[in-house]
């Protein structure tokens, strides 16, 4: 990409949406638009990150996010290395900070981290010299997912401000929901959460969102219906009684979608549980943006990598 | 026998009698021989050692009812030697150590071992609290009678709650026959679940599983019913929220033999101090809201909360430099509890006498000890305190083997200048 006119991203790391200003977010989205163009060309390779080393450090397995970051880094010319830590050091008793120190000694320029514990990425960022990108920490944040969702929405609706966005499902355990709430509010959307009370976090009423416990109310006038994944171990009586009951009341099918605006669009961070939180008919319909989200994922991650790389020494 | 010692020119504070006056205090044979405005250097016996307190506060030494020491089994975190040196530096003259050791203090021989280790290596008094259940497993009761005979000061499963109400009822019934004091950590383990901090907006924003105050209050309510049923002397180890205070108030109004404690941490901090996942503020029970904190401070001033404890819990660096949910609970506190308490005094939320009542007189009385007061014939366990000196806490200067203090870098006002146990000076600040 050519040096953009967008204002410089004023942070060394991307640890979360919290703390970002609207201008920071918009700058990243604009940069991502350029990355979409690049990614649709035959010649996709750029040299912004040439000579740079990017390490994808995944303490939690994730095929899609990891490959998205890998492709993003490679398209910008970085040398990308994937480390699946769950399979190596942790089993030998190495602590997170030992791993951080070890990697730091290899002099990477960018580290992309996913970890099962909230705050783990912050802890790691304090101990390394390079830029750190949070690719999901526990139930805390997943900032690049929120950015790619915002980019997808903006490209399809032309704006984010003033839109009604309903985030539906397992908000309690969802880092995607947290990051999205923060980002969409910062950009002026009206955010709702829709879930049974057992899947809503404590104090959600103080997040500045509208809280709904049934889909008919929650989806009324919605421009965007964002479904969240419900993990298998939470379906059998722990948080909801059964898949059958959950789908009946909270699974998005054509009927429930009809309660939203007629031009409402459907999103899902993936991977989907078809027949649990979303019906195949809806997931594959013309109203669905789910595949476009994946494409935007690569673009947004290119934008983030490039924005952070501008702060690197000799960058 | 050592010569008499006269602490002259002191501000004598005794919470029990309300004494707050300039005077002297004469120590002989390890006991307080005389005290008051008329006790002066010129009237003392010839061989008396005179110690000029320069107008500083002289009060009864602190009795800390809740400290985790680490011996036996976790000497890398803290030994009796380092814990008691830290205690001495903090003005604590009696330390009740928790049975969460390895092996647990659930056998008279281990009580005996600890008392001997304390005699040989400790510089302040150590009173072991014995386990309520074997191996702290919450199922089989320990030998309450034999343990008490061996020197157990109280009975507790430390940081664990006894989940089964039937088992706990039987233990309380049996313990009552020995007039034992049962101290209980009241958090329902099922409600606690995987929670690592106070449940609420903040835990949700940080993405950390929360622990509701109800986990504490529900178990406390249960325990009050069981105390009513059994008549056993009962102490709630650490109450942390406004709702629990209502439970305690009702129980006391009913005349139940109950008391409760609060930790200096819960009086000093709230959940917001966790900030960016600071694990030194990861405690069990967790730090609560500011409203709860203020309610606790008011309850200490009122005497509804009987005692303030350090909840001293040394953790090494490896246990704390972890993602928040995976880090160990606990903070050291025995060396800082009095000075941290002084913050509340300086803020005029608590009187100096009220602070000594909660940290010395009432815990001493609850444990049936002779100390905790400035009175003729009482043990000369004393602390001398300079109220004015401002300073910034540097963890490296602390005596504890572990440095996990939430007061790292805190601005404090007031210093322990001398600590005496049985009349012997066990700590003396370089500036004293």
Among B311, B318, B381, B394, the one annotated catalytic: B311
The mean pLDDT value for B377-395 works out to 96
Residue whose pair of structure tokens reads 């490896």 in the numeric block = B318
On the question of pLDDT at A60 being above 60, the answer is: yes
Tell me whether A238 touches chain B (CB under 8 Å). no
Burial of residue B71, with CB atoms counted within 10 A of its CB: 0-12 exposed, 13-18 middle, 19 or more buried: buried
Nearest Cα residue in chain A from B209: A139
Residue A100 in tokens? 């951080």
Q: What does the pLDDT look like over A248-304, one tens digit per residue?
A: 999 999 999 999 999 999 999 999 999 999 999 999 999 999 999 999 999 999 999
CB contact under 8 A, B325 and A138: yes
The answer to which of A98-112, A142-156, A211-225, B205-219 has the lowest mean pLDDT is A98-112
**ipTM of the complex as predicted:** 0.89
Helix/strand/coil for B98: coil
Q: What is the pLDDT of residue B380?
A: 98
Q: What is the pLDDT of residue A93?
A: 63
Q: From the list A117, A122, A203, which residue is nearest B325 (CB)? A: A117
Element spanning B81, H or E: helix B80-89
CB half-sphere exposure, B345, CA atoms < 13 A: 19
Q: What is the pLDDT of residue A314?
A: 67
Q: What is the pLDDT of residue A304?
A: 98
Distances, alpha carbon B23 to alpha carbons A89, B19, B33, B355, B429, in Å: 65, 11, 14, 20, 22
| Helical packing angle, A175-186 and A22-39, nearest 10° | 110
* CA of A12 vs chain B CAs: smallest distance (Å): 17
Q: What does the pLDDT look like over B176-197, one tens digit per residue?
A: 999 999 999 999 999 999 999 9
CB contact under 8 A, B207 and A178: yes
CA B84 – CA A165 distance, rounded (Å): 59
CA B23 – CA B381 distance, rounded (Å): 17
Q: What is the pLDDT of residue A89?
A: 57
> Mind spelling out the 3-state secondary structure of B237-262?
CCCCCHHHHHHHHHHHHCCCCEEEEE
Q: What does the pLDDT look like over A69-78, one tens digit per residue?
A: 999 999 999 9
- Residue A198 CB coordination number (10 Å): 12
CA B162 – CA B285 distance, rounded (Å): 15
Q: From the list A18, A117, A202, which residue is nearest B323 (CB)? A: A117
CA B281 – CA B293 distance, rounded (Å): 14
Residue whose pair of structure tokens reads 């209502």 in the numeric block = B246
Q: DSSP letter at B309?
A: E
> What residue spans define the domains of chain B?
5-58+379-390+410-428, 61-367
Q: CATH assignment of B61-367?
A: 3.20.20.140
Q: Say whether B157 is catalytic.
A: no
Q: Do domains B5-58+379-390+410-428 and B61-367 have the same CATH topology?
A: no
For domain B5-58+379-390+410-428, the CATH superfamily is Urease, subunit C, domain 1 (2.30.40.10)
Query: What are the helix (H) ranges across B290-395?
Result: 290-302, 317-320, 337-346, 352-356, 362-366
Task: Report yes or no: B330 and B283 within 8 Å, Cβ to Cβ.
Answer: yes
Q: From the list A140, A204, A207, which residue is nearest B206 (CB)? A: A140
CA A105 – CA B135 distance, rounded (Å): 44
List of chain A residues whose C-beta atoms are within 8 Å of the C-beta of residue B202: 203
List of chain B residues whose C-beta atoms are within 8 Å of the C-beta of residue A119: 206-208, 276-277, 323-325
Tell me whether A123 touches chain B (CB under 8 Å). yes
CB contact under 8 A, B208 and A123: no
Query: Who wins on pLDDT, B321 or A84?
Result: B321
């Amino acid at each position: 990409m050519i040096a953009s006119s967008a204002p410089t991203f004023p942070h060394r790391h991307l640890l979360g949406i919290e703390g970002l200003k609207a201008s920071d977010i918009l700058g990243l989205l604009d940069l991502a638009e350029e990355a979409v163009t690049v990614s649709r060309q035959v010649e996709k390779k750029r040299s912004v990150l040439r000579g740079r080393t990017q390490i994808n450090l995944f303490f939690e397995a994730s095929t899609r996010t990891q490959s998205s970051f890998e492709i993003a880094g490679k398209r910008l010319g970085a040398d990308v290395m994937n480390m699946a830590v769950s399979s190596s050091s942790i089993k030998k008793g190495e602590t997170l900070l030992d791993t951080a120190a070890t990697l730091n000694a290899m002099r990477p320029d960018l580290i992309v981290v996913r970890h099962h514990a909230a705050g783990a990425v912050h802890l790691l960022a304090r101990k390394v010299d390079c830029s750190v990108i949070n690719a999901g920490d526990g139930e805390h944040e997943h900032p690049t997912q929120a950015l790619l969702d915002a980019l997808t929405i903006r490209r399809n609706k032309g704006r984010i401000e003033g839109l009604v966005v309903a985030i539906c499902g397992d908000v309690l355990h969802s880092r995607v929901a947290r990051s999205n709430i923060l980002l969409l509010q910062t950009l002026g959307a009206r955010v709702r959460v829709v879930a049974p009370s057992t899947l809503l976090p404590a104090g959600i009423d103080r997040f500045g969102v509208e809280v709904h416990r049934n889909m008919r109310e929650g989806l009324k006038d919605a421009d965007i219906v964002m479904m969240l994944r419900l993990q298998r171990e939470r379906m059998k009586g722990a948080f909801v009684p059964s898949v059958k009951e959950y789908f009946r009341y909270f699974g998005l099918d054509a009927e429930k979608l009809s309660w939203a605006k007629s031009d409402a669009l459907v999103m899902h961070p993936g991977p989907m549980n078809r027949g649990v939180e979303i019906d195949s008919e809806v997931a594959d319909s013309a109203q669905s943006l789910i595949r476009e989200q994946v494409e935007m994922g690569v673009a947004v991650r290119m934008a983030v990598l490039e924005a952070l790389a501008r702060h690197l020494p000799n960058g | 026998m050592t010569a008499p010692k006269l602490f002259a020119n002191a501000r004598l504070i005794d919470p029990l009698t309300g004494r707050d006056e300039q005077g002297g205090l004469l120590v002989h044979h390890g006991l307080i021989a005389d005290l008051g405005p008329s006790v002066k250097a010129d009237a003392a016996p010839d061989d008396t050692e005179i110690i000029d307190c320069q107008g500083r506060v002289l009060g009864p030494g602190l009795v800390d009812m809740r400290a985790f020491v680490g011996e036996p089994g976790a000497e890398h975190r803290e030994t009796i030697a380092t814990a008691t040196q830290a205690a001495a530096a903090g003005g604590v003259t009696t330390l009740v150590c928790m049975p969460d050791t390895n092996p647990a203090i659930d056998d008279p021989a281990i009580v005996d071992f600890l008392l001997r280790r304390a005699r040989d290596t400790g510089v302040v008094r150590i009173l072991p609290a014995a386990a309520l259940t074997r191996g702290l497993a919450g199922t089989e009761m320990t030998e309450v009678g034999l343990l008490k005979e061996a020197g157990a000061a109280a009975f507790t499963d430390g940081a664990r709650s006894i989940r089964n109400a039937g088992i706990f009822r039987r233990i309380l019934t049996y313990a009552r026959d020995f007039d034992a004091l049962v101290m209980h950590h009241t958090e329902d383990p099922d409600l606690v679940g995987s929670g690592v901090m106070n449940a609420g907006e903040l835990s949700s924003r940080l993405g950390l599983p929360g622990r509701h105050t109800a986990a504490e209050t529900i178990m406390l309510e249960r325990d009050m019913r069981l105390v009513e049923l059994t008549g056993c002397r009962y102490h709630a180890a650490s109450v942390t929220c406004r709702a629990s205070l209502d439970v305690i108030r009702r129980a006391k109004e009913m005349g139940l033999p109950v008391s409760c404690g609060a930790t200096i941490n819960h009086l000093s901090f709230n959940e917001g101090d966790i900030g960016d996942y600071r694990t030194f503020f990861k405690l069990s029970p967790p730090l609560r809201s500011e409203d709860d904190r203020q309610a606790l401070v008011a309850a200490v001033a009122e005497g509804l909360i009987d005692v303030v404890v350090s909840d001293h819990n040394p953790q090494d660096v490896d246990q704390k430099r972890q993602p928040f949910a995976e880090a160990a609970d606990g903070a050291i506190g025995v060396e800082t509890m009095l000075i941290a308490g002084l913050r509340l005094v300086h803020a005029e939320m608590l009187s100096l006498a009220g602070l000594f009542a909660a940290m010395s007189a009432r815990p001493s009385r609850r444990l049936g000890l002779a100390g905790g007061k400035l009175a003729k014939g009482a043990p000369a366990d004393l602390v001398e305190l300079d109220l004015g000196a401002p300073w910034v806490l540097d963890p490296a200067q602390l005596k504890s083997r572990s440095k996990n203090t939430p007061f790292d870098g805190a601005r404090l006002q007031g210093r322990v200048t001398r600590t005496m146990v049985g009349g012997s000076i066990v700590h003396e600040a370089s500036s004293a």
